[in-house]
Chains A and B, each alone.
Chain A
Amino acid sequence: MAKVNGTLYAVLSGTDRVLYLTSCSLTISQNLADTSNKESGGWAEHINGLRSASIPFEGVYDESLISAAGLTPAAIVGLIIDRTADSVIKWTADSGTSGFTGNGTFENITISAPMEEGVKFSGNIKFNGAVADI
């Protein structure tokens, strides 16, 4: 069995990698609207409803840019301040060759600065519309 090191997974916004992450998750959900009724034989039943997806992420705050193009947390702050239009988001372990993709928006970012600890950040990307296999 081939295990996967989480370091390989990246979040891309357009062609920019979200930099300095320590973790990221992809959650895809669908609302399962309850349709249980007296004819359900005592079992819960549902129909498929609205689908949604998000990528919560965390990282260590850094403002320097490494050689590859990428989004720093300061840049993400700027995107929210400017209400920048959606970008194409990719969740990928191989620089975008495979994974999942869709239009998405940076919903929030929190930067935490505790005394004598590294400054950290966390945030959430909310997909806007369909998510599909790359």
Chain B
Amino acid sequence: MAKFNGTGILIYSNGTEIACQTGLSISLQQALLPASTKNSAGWEEHINGQRSFNIPFDALQSTTGLSAKELYDYIIGRTNLLVFVLGFGAPIIGECDLADCTVNAPNEGTVGLSGNLKGNRTLFQLRGTKVQKLTDPKGVSTDYETYTTSGVRVTSAINLAGTATTLSTVSAVVNTATYKVVFFLTLNSGQVPSVVITDAGAGKSNAVAAVAGINVITLVATDTGNYSLQFYNTAAANWSTSNIYWFRI
């Protein structure tokens, strides 16, 4: 049996690991709405209601990396976050807002910080039929001038002019099935990339232009087969991404 050491479970905000984490929890709940009536034979009954999740976490304050100042800025700027919890067999992904963040500065003690990420809309758990489909973003081909990756993260994509495309390693796609492509885009300059499912360049889904920041893109397949996830630009562009997750919903 595979137990997990909590040290290996980490939170990433917009693709960046929160520095010096010491602990976290993932709480998922669904409201069970009272539905008891006189016909319930004296037993409480309910119906399924709203789902919600939150992720409280603790860390030590760090002078480098994503720490208190950056976290406070999320609250001050009312910026929402794309949160990955990695380390389990199945990545857990959701959009969140930082509900609160506290820095504790005890006398002659380590400065610690704690916060609570409140989920906004769907929590995705990439397992079963929703397993991660992307293994290599450039597994088939790329004609960008620069296209470097680290796992399923594009660390640098540079297109100097004209059209450039990158095809991922293929994965099984089912006609009319709905897929999500989730990632955080850092646009350094130029045009944002677009995303589509293709068969060596022949479109097999709708195409969607990404946005700088959080992307939760919906693609609907138009054919069945083993196809690639394609990122492409039609003009000069310089961008990078967090981990990219492509999964069926």
Contact = CB atoms under 8 A, between A and B. Distances in A.
A130 interface: yes
Nearest to B124: A81
B43 A62 contact: no
Which size class do B's interface residues fall under? 35 or more
Contacts of B87: 113
Interface in A46-98: 48-52, 60-64, 66, 74, 77-78, 80-81, 83
Interface in B18-36: 21-30, 32, 36
A110 interface: yes
A64 B90 CA distance: 12
Interface centre among B26, B87, B124 (most CB of A within 10 A): B26
A74 B46 contact: no
Interface centre among A20, A52, A66, A80 (most CB of B within 10 A): A80
A105 B32 contact: yes
Given A51-B44, A128-B46, A80 B29 contact: yes
Interface stretch (B1-9, B154-162, B199-207): B1-9
A42 interface: no
A110 B25 contact: yes
Which size class do A's interface residues fall under? 35 or more
A62 B244 CA distance: 25
A108 B29 contact: yes
Contact of B3 (A66, A109, A119, A129): A119
Contact of B125 (A60, A78, A113, A114): A78
A110 B26 contact: yes
Contacts of B22: 114-115
B90 A112 contact: no
A80 B123 CA distance: 10
Interface of B: 1-7, 9, 21-30, 32, 36, 40-46, 48, 51, 87-90, 92, 122-125, 127-128
Interface of A: 20, 48-52, 60-64, 66, 74, 77-78, 80-81, 83, 105-119, 126-131
15 contacts: A64-B1, A66-B1, A74-B125, A78-B128, A80-B29, A83-B48, A114-B6, A115-B22, A118-B3, A118-B4, A128-B44, A129-B40, A129-B41, A129-B44, A129-B45
